[in-house]
Amino acid sequence: MADHCNGSSQSSKSFVNIPPIKFTKLFIDGNFVDSVSGKTFEAIDPRTGEAITRVSEGDKEDVDLAVKAARFAFDNGPWPRLSGYERGRILMKFADLIEQNIEELATLEAINGGKLFSLCKFMEVPGAAMALRYYAGAADKIYGTVLKLSKGLQGYTLREPIGVVGAILPWNFPTSMFFVKAAPALAAGCTMVVKPAEQTPLSALYYAHLAKLAGIPDGVLNVVNGFGETAGAAISSHMNVDKVSFTGSPEVGRKIMMAAAASNLKPVSLELGGKSPLLIFDDADVDEAAKFAFNGIFTNKGEICVASSRIYVQVGIHDKIVNKLIEKANAWVVGDPFDPQVNQGPQTDKNQFEKILSYIEHGKREGATLLTGGNRIGQKGYYIQPTIFADVKEDMIIAKEEIFGPVMSLMKFKTMEEAIKRANDTTYGLAAGVITKDLNVANTVSRSVRAGVVWINCYLLLDVGCPYGGYKMSGFGRENGMDSLNEYLQTNSHSSESFANIPPIKFTKLFINGNFVDSVSGKTFEAIDPRTGEAITRVSKGDKEDVDLAVKAARFAFDNGPWPRLSGSERGRILMKLADLIEENIEEIASLDAINGGKLFSLCKLIDIPAASMALRYYAGAADKIHGTVLKLSKGLQGYTLREPIGVVGAIIPWNFPTIMFFLKVAPALAAGCTIVVKPAEQTPLSALYYAHLAKLAGVPDGVLNVVNGYGETAGAAISSHMDIDKVSFTGSTEVGRKIMVAAATSNLKPVSLELGGKSPLLIFDDADVDEAANIAFNGMFFNKGEICVASSRVYVQEGIYDKIVDKLVEKAKALVVGDPFDPQVNQGPQADKKQFEKILSYIEHGKREGATLLTGGKHIGQKGYYIQPTIFADVKDDMIIAKNEIFGPVMSLMKFKTMEEGIKRANNTTYGLAAGIITKDLNVANTVSRSVRAGVVWINCYTVFDMDCPYGGYKMSGFGRDYGLDALNQYLQIKSVVTPIHDSPWH
């Protein structure tokens, strides 16, 4: 049977001798076996709709057996341990065998998938051999990197096979997709379990047979025929599969990703659907453009994810292009795929056949103009006429949804800007095409269209060396090229013994009156390394008696010592010296914060500790600029004010930024002339003790700076209620802040500065740049593993870009590397302590129970240490616990809003008011929201951007008082007004 769009011809002879089907069972551990259940299913010939043969139906039990074989082959077998050269030699032999059996393989593709025999013989099957040869040649060229690390360290990376790979294939290109996944995975040294599409299993089984003949060891390549809901689901959720690679629909891709996340959080590569635009400009050659457009959609009967199903033609040549396309459609021959005169075979299966016909009916009903085609051909098999619609609108179903069949949508455009905008108006982003002679147009469009591959003056030109994959809902990961090989490798970083030479812990006692001393009780407590949950050392445990001694020393130093009486310039000089000493010891201090707080060594070294010395220099420079004011009083009076140090300060600091918070309190207090007793968090005392040592070396007098390690309930409470402390400055939780304020009120009514919790909103408006907004939102939440009071934990996204932002954030979360904070490749270290770790996990469970959608993360990592996956919830409601309570960990809540007014109202619907963010290009929106949101700091088109000169602190239950800037200095000063009478002054 053959058919032109407006006629048909029948043929009674077959065009090829079809050989018997040889392989129909499962291929597990080097053998063809029946399924555990004994079930089979029909392999259908789409030319007739009738069964060719029956194939074993694999299920969960069969997947378990295949994974077990692949796991053993990876963990114990030779394949990953062969040299790349040896693996490459076997893959070359595999390619030779494919070419020797090319006729039979091409036949299987035609009878099982309706594909043109000639194209399979001359393109697809040779393409499989080419892929094998390409990656075989790369197998011995998998290199790591020699790293230049810090002084005294040598490091390198290894690129190692990721492990057992689960590959779930589509039915449109059974051969190509088999080797797009198998060739790089095998070259990398992985083992595999392949599930071919249930519609097209026959060629995959033949390739398994050839792989064994080529010398691939048993268990390395396994093929489990079966259905997506059973065998595919079992692969996706299997705890012993280390990676899943899937090509298919977004709907199934989403399920696979969720299953991977819900199981062992295996990495996933998804090459999903497309609704690819082809933009034809007025200067294009009409014949050439029509050819590209036509072949771009009707090749492989439209069953191709990068099909040019949306054709945008500039108005000047629109009618000419239309005429050419109709002419080509009328000449297009549909029929038996073995007939050398045929251009298009049957659709792959009945479901797809009926789905395409239903889309055609949608197009007619929605008012698109049917130019040609639109009907099935014959009563037997799954043949459809090439179909072209004109006058298609973007909101029509045929323009929005992936049809995956021979249906073209034609649309007209005027300007390049319009074309780009309309081309990008899709949830997909797999491919695009541009046809023009104008270099500027080609460059502009190719840079502006959001797609993983853009063809200029061509289409469907795929090369094994050129990676392709999707943007947006077309997936992530790349096929072809070295990028694809890297998908099956993981980086293992090595250095001599450790990523850093961790120095011995030097200071573990209390620091009182210029000396390191044991606690009065002699008690100690463990300082824990959150990387392991094990003790690093034991630290003296201060209590009320120790606080009394520290306050006594500070009181004496303030009342009688030199520090408050030095000139501001002299105090500044000593603080500058302390800053110098910090910078000279930056490596050692950074190590302390990393091993004691789980903070990234690199960030401590580059940000936290330099920020400490910056704070010291800032306030050192302000120490001699503490001025009072001359007052013009009523007649006969002269007045002025003095700004004097407030006295003995008690500073209680948190564990999330041990260094920065230490100096945000200490630097302005010392610059003001105060003395101070610091209680570091019990979780992170080590760097504070080191700073006390450096302060003495710098020349800070005895008694001026004291450090008392201890617990909040004892040492912290003693500071808060102490009658000889003149001010308390605290950063931490709202609950503890309330206790401190009560204690201050019930003791000597000392002033209190409280920088408390936050549940900070970030409002992203529709006009925001999606990439920039996602980057700001992500870093705002996951910086410092979410242990930051101003974290953008409530992200409100306007509905127009919500889905795009969600996709970007999930992509970023999956790329975030959690691990040893000394590893330069790591983005997130462990949570600071076990209690916080468990608290975060409990909040995640709350989110799940309350009905928020867990997009990614949600689990701890490993069995040792306090590592948690970056976690993102969508569909969060404002009344959920995860949206109301401060989690203080790597957990983001995503919410959608419509209007600016709604965004403001919901942002303010919290008991907190520490920080907020706005991302918009609209000046009016920025001004309105920044004035309307109740928060102590509002960042516009940025987030967590701190500067020493910019004060920050809370509204509402986020506390009061300010850190940073001269406002912070003023909190350690009090105003004294001096008034004297003046007689007979000429000036009144």
- Among 426, 423, 428, 424, which Cα is nearest to 411's? 423
Dist CA 716 CA 415 (whole Å) = 68
DSSP line for 960-976: ES-BSHHHHHHTTEEEE
570 carries an active-site annotation = no
Q: Which two tokens stand for residue 209?
A: 């047979």
CA distances (Å), origin 718, targets 139, 547, 874, 971: 65, 7, 43, 21
CA angle 307, 312, 314 (to 5 degrees): 150
DSSP line for 233-268: HHHHT-TT--EEEEES-HHHHHHHHHHHHHTT---E
Dist CA 129 CA 435 (whole Å) = 32
Residue ranges of the alpha helices (H) in 368-507? 397-400, 416-423, 439-448, 481-487
Q: Which two tokens stand for residue 759?
A: 């549940």
Please name the helix (run of DSSP H) or strand (run of DSSP E) that holds residue 298, with its range, or none: helix 286-298
DSSP line for 903-936: HHHHHT-SSEESEEEEE-S-HHHHHHHHHHS--S
Provide the CA 185 distance to its chain's centre, in angstroms.
24
- Marked catalytic residue, from 124, 198, 271, 487: 271
**Residue 264, C-beta contacts closer than 8 angstroms, at least 6 positions apart:** 239, 240, 241, 242
545 carries an active-site annotation = no
Provide the CA 682 distance to its chain's centre, in angstroms.
32
Dist CA 114 CA 300 (whole Å) = 9
Cβ distance 47 to 18 under 8 Å?
no
Dist CA 853 CA 873 (whole Å) = 5
The amino acid at residue 375 is N
Q: Which residue has the tokens 């599930």?
A: 195
Q: Which two tokens stand for residue 505?
A: 């812990």
Q: Could you tell me how many residues make up the chain?
A: 988
Sort 987 into a burial class: Cβ within 10 Å, 0-12 / 13-18 / 19+. exposed
CA angle 771, 817, 946 (to 5 degrees): 60
- Marked catalytic residue, from 303, 402, 487, 755: 755
Dist CA 898 CA 121 (whole Å) = 54
Cβ distance 353 to 377 under 8 Å?
no
Dist CA 806 CA 548 (whole Å) = 53
Dist CA 704 CA 466 (whole Å) = 66
The amino acid at residue 278 is L
Cβ distance 178 to 112 under 8 Å?
no
Please name the helix (run of DSSP H) or strand (run of DSSP E) that holds residue 202, with its range, or none: helix 202-214
Cβ distance 792 to 917 under 8 Å?
yes
Residues classed as catalytic: 271, 755
